[in-house]
Amino acid sequence: MRRLIVGLACLLALAGCNIISYSFSGTSIQPDVRTITLPTFEYKALKVNPTLSNNLSEAIRTRFRQMTRLEQVEMDGDLEISGEITGYDVRAQAITANETAAQNRLTVTVKVNFSNRKYPEDNFENKSFSAYADYDSTNSLDAVEMTLCEEIIDKLVEDIFNATVAQW
Protein backbone atom coordinates (compact mmCIF):
# COMPACT_ATOMS: atom_id res chain seq x y z
CA MET A 1 0.00 0.00 0.00
CA ARG A 2 2.86 2.31 0.85
CA ARG A 3 4.45 1.72 -2.59
CA LEU A 4 1.17 2.59 -4.27
CA ILE A 5 0.92 5.89 -2.40
CA VAL A 6 4.53 6.77 -3.16
CA GLY A 7 4.02 5.85 -6.83
CA LEU A 8 0.92 8.01 -7.10
CA ALA A 9 2.68 10.90 -5.40
CA CYS A 10 5.56 10.67 -7.89
CA LEU A 11 3.15 10.51 -10.83
CA LEU A 12 1.27 13.59 -9.59
CA ALA A 13 4.54 15.45 -9.05
CA LEU A 14 5.71 14.68 -12.58
CA ALA A 15 2.35 15.66 -14.05
CA GLY A 16 2.41 18.90 -12.07
CA CYS A 17 5.84 19.72 -13.52
CA ASN A 18 4.56 19.16 -17.06
CA ILE A 19 7.11 16.40 -17.59
CA ILE A 20 4.31 14.19 -18.78
CA SER A 21 1.26 15.39 -20.61
CA TYR A 22 -1.96 13.41 -20.55
CA SER A 23 -5.56 14.32 -21.08
CA PHE A 24 -8.73 12.41 -20.30
CA SER A 25 -9.94 13.31 -23.80
CA GLY A 26 -7.19 11.13 -25.23
CA THR A 27 -5.11 13.96 -26.67
CA SER A 28 -1.38 14.30 -26.33
CA ILE A 29 -0.90 18.04 -26.75
CA GLN A 30 2.26 19.51 -25.27
CA PRO A 31 1.63 22.14 -22.56
CA ASP A 32 3.27 24.94 -24.56
CA VAL A 33 0.92 24.41 -27.54
CA ARG A 34 -1.93 26.82 -26.95
CA THR A 35 -3.55 27.82 -30.25
CA ILE A 36 -4.89 26.19 -33.40
CA THR A 37 -5.82 27.52 -36.83
CA LEU A 38 -8.58 25.65 -38.69
CA PRO A 39 -9.30 27.20 -42.09
CA THR A 40 -12.24 26.00 -44.17
CA PHE A 41 -11.46 22.92 -46.23
CA GLU A 42 -11.43 23.62 -49.98
CA TYR A 43 -13.82 21.66 -52.18
CA LYS A 44 -12.04 20.14 -55.17
CA ALA A 45 -14.12 17.03 -55.87
CA LEU A 46 -15.70 16.72 -59.32
CA LYS A 47 -19.22 15.95 -58.05
CA VAL A 48 -20.52 18.95 -56.13
CA ASN A 49 -22.03 18.97 -52.65
CA PRO A 50 -22.38 22.68 -51.81
CA THR A 51 -22.54 22.26 -48.01
CA LEU A 52 -19.96 19.53 -47.41
CA SER A 53 -16.91 21.78 -47.15
CA ASN A 54 -18.48 24.08 -44.58
CA ASN A 55 -20.06 21.22 -42.60
CA LEU A 56 -16.79 19.28 -42.40
CA SER A 57 -14.81 22.37 -41.39
CA GLU A 58 -17.33 23.29 -38.69
CA ALA A 59 -17.38 19.73 -37.35
CA ILE A 60 -13.59 19.78 -37.01
CA ARG A 61 -13.71 23.14 -35.22
CA THR A 62 -16.39 21.84 -32.87
CA ARG A 63 -14.39 18.70 -32.03
CA PHE A 64 -11.32 20.75 -31.14
CA ARG A 65 -13.38 23.20 -29.12
CA GLN A 66 -15.02 20.38 -27.14
CA MET A 67 -12.07 18.01 -26.75
CA THR A 68 -9.04 20.29 -26.31
CA ARG A 69 -8.00 23.36 -24.39
CA LEU A 70 -6.67 25.01 -27.57
CA GLU A 71 -7.77 28.51 -28.48
CA GLN A 72 -8.89 28.77 -32.10
CA VAL A 73 -7.22 31.66 -33.94
CA GLU A 74 -7.61 32.94 -37.51
CA MET A 75 -3.92 32.60 -38.46
CA ASP A 76 -0.51 31.51 -37.19
CA GLY A 77 -1.74 29.04 -34.58
CA ASP A 78 0.73 26.73 -32.89
CA LEU A 79 -1.13 23.97 -34.75
CA GLU A 80 -2.77 24.28 -38.15
CA ILE A 81 -4.99 21.76 -39.88
CA SER A 82 -5.93 22.52 -43.46
CA GLY A 83 -7.06 20.42 -46.35
CA GLU A 84 -9.27 19.82 -49.29
CA ILE A 85 -12.10 17.52 -50.23
CA THR A 86 -10.76 15.60 -53.21
CA GLY A 87 -13.38 12.94 -53.73
CA TYR A 88 -17.16 12.62 -53.54
CA ASP A 89 -18.16 9.41 -55.29
CA VAL A 90 -21.14 7.09 -55.50
CA ARG A 91 -20.58 3.50 -56.58
CA ALA A 92 -22.69 0.36 -56.69
CA GLN A 93 -21.82 -1.78 -53.70
CA ALA A 94 -23.95 -4.92 -53.68
CA ILE A 95 -25.06 -6.42 -56.99
CA THR A 96 -28.19 -8.60 -57.14
CA ALA A 97 -28.76 -11.68 -59.29
CA ASN A 98 -30.38 -9.40 -61.86
CA GLU A 99 -27.13 -7.44 -62.08
CA THR A 100 -28.62 -4.34 -60.52
CA ALA A 101 -27.26 -2.55 -57.49
CA ALA A 102 -28.93 -3.46 -54.20
CA GLN A 103 -26.80 -0.94 -52.33
CA ASN A 104 -24.76 2.09 -53.24
CA ARG A 105 -21.83 3.57 -51.37
CA LEU A 106 -21.09 7.27 -50.97
CA THR A 107 -17.38 7.83 -50.32
CA VAL A 108 -15.76 11.13 -49.35
CA THR A 109 -12.00 11.56 -49.54
CA VAL A 110 -10.01 14.43 -48.05
CA LYS A 111 -6.34 15.36 -48.07
CA VAL A 112 -5.11 16.94 -44.85
CA ASN A 113 -2.06 19.01 -43.98
CA PHE A 114 -1.03 19.22 -40.33
CA SER A 115 1.51 21.73 -39.10
CA ASN A 116 2.83 21.86 -35.54
CA ARG A 117 4.98 24.99 -35.35
CA LYS A 118 6.46 24.03 -31.98
CA TYR A 119 7.07 20.34 -32.75
CA PRO A 120 7.61 20.10 -36.53
CA GLU A 121 8.45 16.39 -36.31
CA ASP A 122 4.67 15.83 -35.97
CA ASN A 123 3.88 17.56 -39.30
CA PHE A 124 2.40 15.78 -42.29
CA GLU A 125 1.23 16.85 -45.75
CA ASN A 126 -1.40 15.49 -48.11
CA LYS A 127 -2.38 12.64 -45.83
CA SER A 128 -5.47 11.03 -47.31
CA PHE A 129 -8.54 10.20 -45.23
CA SER A 130 -11.60 8.47 -46.61
CA ALA A 131 -14.97 7.49 -45.15
CA TYR A 132 -18.11 6.02 -46.62
CA ALA A 133 -21.73 5.18 -45.92
CA ASP A 134 -23.94 2.69 -47.74
CA TYR A 135 -27.56 3.19 -48.70
CA ASP A 136 -30.28 1.12 -50.32
CA SER A 137 -30.43 1.65 -54.06
CA THR A 138 -34.21 2.07 -53.90
CA ASN A 139 -33.47 5.50 -52.39
CA SER A 140 -32.13 8.34 -54.47
CA LEU A 141 -28.91 9.98 -53.32
CA ASP A 142 -30.82 13.25 -52.89
CA ALA A 143 -33.17 11.57 -50.40
CA VAL A 144 -30.41 10.23 -48.13
CA GLU A 145 -27.46 12.52 -48.87
CA MET A 146 -27.74 14.74 -45.80
CA THR A 147 -27.86 11.78 -43.38
CA LEU A 148 -25.03 9.98 -45.17
CA CYS A 149 -22.84 13.08 -45.12
CA GLU A 150 -23.38 13.55 -41.38
CA GLU A 151 -22.26 9.96 -40.78
CA ILE A 152 -19.25 10.34 -43.08
CA ILE A 153 -18.24 13.67 -41.52
CA ASP A 154 -18.31 12.08 -38.04
CA LYS A 155 -15.92 9.36 -39.22
CA LEU A 156 -13.60 11.80 -40.98
CA VAL A 157 -13.46 14.15 -37.99
CA GLU A 158 -12.62 11.25 -35.68
CA ASP A 159 -9.82 10.07 -37.97
CA ILE A 160 -8.37 13.56 -38.48
CA PHE A 161 -8.53 14.33 -34.75
CA ASN A 162 -6.78 11.07 -33.90
CA ALA A 163 -4.08 11.57 -36.52
CA THR A 164 -3.27 15.11 -35.39
CA VAL A 165 -3.58 15.46 -31.63
CA ALA A 166 -4.33 11.99 -30.38
CA GLN A 167 -1.47 10.61 -32.53
CA TRP A 168 -3.05 7.20 -33.05
* Structure confidence by residue, pLDDT tens digits, 83-115: 999 999 999 887 766 667 689 999 999 999 999
The pTM of this model reads 0.81
- Whole-angstrom distance, CA of residue 100 vs CA of residue 93: 10
Fold of 30-166: Double Stranded RNA Binding Domain (3.30.160)
37 three-state secondary structure:
strand
DSSP bridge pairs for 103: 94, 136
pLDDT of residue 94: 72
Helix, strand counts (H, E) of the chain: 3, 6
Instruction: List the alpha helices (DSSP H) in 68-134.
Output: none
Every domain of the chain and the residues it spans: 30-166
